[in-house]
Chain A
Amino acid sequence: MALFSDAYLTQLLDDAEKQVSNDIKCLFNYFSLAVTQGTAEYTLPATVCGIHMISFKGTLIDPLTHQDIDFSSWMKPQNLSVESIPKFYVRLGYGYNKIKFHPIPNESISADDTDLDSVDGIKRRVIIYCYKISDPSGTIRLPSYLRRNVVKYIAMSKAYMREGKTQNLSAAGYFAKRAATTFELYRQMVFKVPRAVVLQFGPAADRSRLTPPRPVLPSSGKWAL
């Protein structure tokens, strides 16, 4: 007889996958947002866990913090009802998954995710570029190698913690430690690889003196591989 039911393990695995994707923020994605003339506040899908940038008909709009708001003429009471092309968005203070545009959009724009890659499509839509939480029943998911290691360890740790005959605290502690170690190493790689690329692989202090290393193409034939 199995220690845990499939349904229970699936629930734990799904929860763990969402937790890891939220903590690491490695699932980049973009989608269009339907905007209505005269409406400033919009609800984002619950799967958005970090906004990279927002493009309003091809022009980036800037994020505002509350500190910026204090100094911004846009947020003075007499300006709150102004309608125009949005220049800023505020993320904090309106709910965890809400954004507010300033000024208020002066036109309605529909959502259509089919042409977000073309210049014409970008100029027609409001596009949110963001990190998403994994959707275990959909297409945006963590890579399989991560699911089979980090996610599995977290799920096993929680499964063994459950009260009852299957409780095994030493096993739970073992899997928790294994999950934490693997997660931390993986998190470092996710941040290190793109940053190393941008910093051209060398320590910052030496970049001015050294030629950035580049992969060397084979010499047989011009650029042949």
Chain B
Amino acid sequence: MTKSEIITRAAAMLEDEGLVHFVTRDFTDSFHDGYELVSVLTGCIERCGTFATVAYKAFYNMHSSIADLFAVFAFYDRNNDRWLNPESLQTFKNYSQTFLTAQANPREWAPIGLNYVCFYPAPPSIGSYYCFYKAVAQEIADGDTPEIFDDLQDVLVEYIVADLLDQNLEYTKSQAHFETFISKCIAIQARMDKRDWPERIMALRG
């Protein structure tokens, strides 16, 4: 479904097909809020960008380099053609009391919160990486389709209806739609988590 088709469905559910009670802006604002919330609650949008490290710097605020970042999940070292291993900061602490001052081509990285990452060892020179991350949804055009599983895209219809009923102070009705919205978000989350399994099971059999 495209954005305009989703908005048309939401208007039909509100019996406001002619956009009489709510104006177009109400629907597009709610659509964008809902899409953003779905992307954050489910991690359904994944992107790849390039990222450069600075010499001797171990900690990076990725949010200042990538505007639509939600959370990083992989790095690929373009200079040395290899993946960096994900580890936890606690693992780095266990390596050495002085891990912060170690310098070499990074072998590992650790996510800290959602914005920061730490490279170990700290790069001795400028490095270039592909950065794979989960993204926060940005505004899309009317003819574009949101990056959500096809059969679960009506999660956005539920959000728009809930949001507009809430603006109309119809809290009981809104609550029912919001609960449906949340249950669909959980379904998307579950499907995102299980996405890899079919290929991996086939690989084991092969």
The residues of A with any CB-CB pair to B shorter than 8 Å are 25-28, 30, 52-53, 55, 58-60, 117-120, 122-123, 131, 143, 145-146, 148-149, 170-171, 174, 177-178, 181-182, 185-186, 189-190, 193-194, 196-198, 200-201, 209-211, 213-215, 217, 223, 225
* A58 lies within 8 A of B100 (CB): yes
A contact residues around B43 at 8 Å (CB): 189, 193
Instruction: Knowing A117-B56, A210-B204 are in contact, say whether A149-B81 is a contact too (CB < 8 A).
Output: no
One of B4-12, B109-117, B148-156 contacting the partner: B109-117
A58 to B102 alpha-carbon distance, docked (Å)? 10
A58 to B130 alpha-carbon distance, docked (Å)? 29
Q: Does B48 contact A (CB under 8 A)?
A: yes
Q: Which residue in chain B gives the minimum CB-CB distance to A118?
A: B56
* A149 lies within 8 A of B37 (CB): yes
A80 to B54 alpha-carbon distance, docked (Å)? 42
Instruction: Knowing A52-B89, A194-B111 are in contact, say whether A30-B33 is a contact too (CB < 8 A).
Output: no
A contact residues around B114 at 8 Å (CB): 26, 143, 190, 193-194
List 26 A–B pairs whose Cβ atoms lie within 8 Å, in order of A's numbering. Answer: A27-B113, A28-B113, A53-B93, A55-B100, A58-B98, A59-B97, A117-B56, A122-B100, A143-B114, A145-B36, A149-B37, A171-B171, A174-B171, A174-B174, A181-B178, A185-B182, A185-B189, A189-B40, A189-B42, A194-B112, A194-B113, A197-B111, A209-B204, A210-B200, A215-B46, A223-B130
The list of the 8 closest CB pairs from A to B, nearest first, reads A194-B111, A28-B113, A174-B171, A193-B71, A117-B57, A28-B116, A197-B86, A58-B101
Partner of B115, one of A28, A120, A122: A28
B contact residues around A223 at 8 Å (CB): 76, 78, 81, 130
* B88 lies within 8 A of A198 (CB): yes
Additional 11 contacts, C-beta under 8 A, given A171-B169, A189-B42: A53-B89, A117-B54, A148-B33, A177-B175, A181-B178, A182-B182, A198-B87, A209-B204, A213-B196, A223-B76, A223-B78
Q: Does B83 contact A (CB under 8 A)?
A: yes
Interface of B is mostly: mixed
A131 to B89 alpha-carbon distance, docked (Å)? 14
Chain B 18-46 interface 0/1 with A at a Cβ cutoff of 8 Å (1 = within) = 00000000000000010011001111001
Most central of B41, B56, B122 by chain A CB within 10 Å: B41
A178, chain B: closest CB distance, angstroms: 6
Q: Does B74 contact A (CB under 8 A)?
A: yes
Instruction: Knowing A28-B112, A174-B171 are in contact, say whether A196-B83 is a contact too (CB < 8 A).
Output: no
A169, chain B: closest CB distance, angstroms: 11
A55 to B89 alpha-carbon distance, docked (Å)? 14
A78 to B187 alpha-carbon distance, docked (Å)? 61
B contact residues around A52 at 8 Å (CB): 89, 112
B contact residues around A225 at 8 Å (CB): 48, 130
| Residues in B52-91 with C-beta less than 8 Å from chain A | 54, 56-59, 63, 70-74, 76, 78, 81, 83, 86-89
Q: Which residue in chain B gives the minimum CB-CB distance to A222?
A: B81
Q: Does B132 contact A (CB under 8 A)?
A: yes
* B98 lies within 8 A of A60 (CB): yes
Q: Does B157 contact A (CB under 8 A)?
A: no
A55 to B136 alpha-carbon distance, docked (Å)? 33
A198 to B87 alpha-carbon distance, docked (Å)? 5
A182 to B185 alpha-carbon distance, docked (Å)? 10
B contact residues around A194 at 8 Å (CB): 71, 88, 111-114
Q: Does B105 contact A (CB under 8 A)?
A: no
